[in-house]
Amino acid sequence: MRPEELAALITAEALGLGFQRIGFAPVEPWARHVLYERWLAAGHHGTMDYLAADAVARRDPRALLADARTVVTVALSYAHAEPTPIGPGPHGFIARYARGPDYHVVIKQRLTELARTLSARLGRPIASRACVDTAPLLEREAAHRAGLGFLAKNTMVIAPGLGSYILLGELLLDVEAAPSHEATPRCGQCRACLDVCPTGAIVDAYTLDARRCISYLTIESRGPIPRDLRPAIGDMIFGCDRCQEVCPFNAQAPAGSPLLAPRPGRARPPLVELLGLGAARFRKYVARTAMRRIHRAQLLRNVAVALGNVGGPEAISPLVQALGEPAALVRSHVVWALGQIARRHPDSSAQSALRSHRAMEKDPAVLEELDRFHVEMSV
């Protein structure tokens, strides 16, 4: 089958599986891999050591499939409507991509099915490898080269007509499909994403410092969230969509794929309710979603920071109860949250609760947070 015919066949089958965009790129070393190396050298990856460990493999897709000749890149949109929070009390914010079923499973299952279908249509076995996010592949570069979208100033991929609320998947094949035309950047002079970033993580056009990114801080980082960045996190407890919310290309984005439809109540969950999740309920809450990326202590840490930012007296009792959590990571952020509420509501019980806990706490990090609060309140 000629490369043009193969590309047409793959496109038809991929669209039939529900993918909304598809593109093709030849397998070769990525020229822009050098930019990735510079990004790593600047330390912008933070504690994501795996990005540096497999940096060499990311230069050439053949590190994943030696006989690969084509990278097929597909996209699904998750641009579903933003709901109004339900019920009283403060609510958290979960990034749109994590509100529905785990996209890793959804996309990989369909890529695997696509490979099986192609093998049957060609009448012979083909070597293939399906990749979704976790494989050492520069997937945004693959999407750009495949004409699926262009690289935006916030480092995301924008697919004109779909926007940037998209999730990518790749299928490496040992057959040659006609390549798509490479996408043309279209951000122009717009800098809306740079200006809106709450923590200044987009340090320059096309350069993201993950160490300041709220998605990194609430998902990838397993340690304390820097104190100076906590107020900027607001109510966000898993990821951040701010740079996408202001992007002009998302203003008229069509409805997202039903394959990634959000679960009821998942977009803006009640913070106090999440703070009370035990181990079993936490496992059920994150099961079969992208939120399984984080541990329970990370989620409670994030919820505590959000309550410190948007909570009122109604959050004091649940936060005091959370001071009994075994993880010092959680307790230290709960102390910070109670301190923030005490500043906003000086007549509340938050300050006395912190004084009482000071006599019982043994962990140095939590004690440091407690002492910092008392010093600041005495000034």
Helix (H) or strand (E) holding 170: strand 166-173
Catalytic amino acids? 133
- Average pLDDT, rounded, for the chain: 97
The pLDDT assigned to 378 comes to 76
Q: Domain ranges in the chain?
A: 1-268, 270-379
pLDDT in tens, 218-239: 999 999 999 999 999 999 999 9
What's the rounded Cα separation, in Å, for the pair 354 and 377? 12
pLDDT in tens, 174-209: 999 999 999 999 999 999 999 999 999 999 999 999
> Could you report the per-residue pLDDT of 59-78, keeping only the tens digit for each?
999 999 999 999 999 999 99
Residue 297 Cα distances to 225, 234, 330, 334, angstroms: 12, 19, 6, 11
The residue length of the chain stands at 379
Query: For the chain, how are helix, strand and coil distributed in percent, rounded to 5?
Result: 45, 10, 40
Q: How confident is the model at residue 83, as a pLDDT?
A: 87
Q: d(Cα 333, Cα 329) in Å, to the nearest integer?
A: 7
Q: Under 8 Å CB-to-CB from 195, ≥6 apart: which residues? A: none
- Quick one: average pLDDT of 272-300? 97
pLDDT digits (tens, 9 = 90+) for 142-186: 999 999 999 999 999 999 999 999 999 999 999 999 999 999 999
Q: Is the pLDDT of residue 374 over 90?
A: no
Q: How far apart, in Å, are the Cα atoms of 242 and each of 31, 80, 165, 185?
A: 30, 15, 12, 21
HSE (CB half, 13 Å, CA atoms) of 160?
8
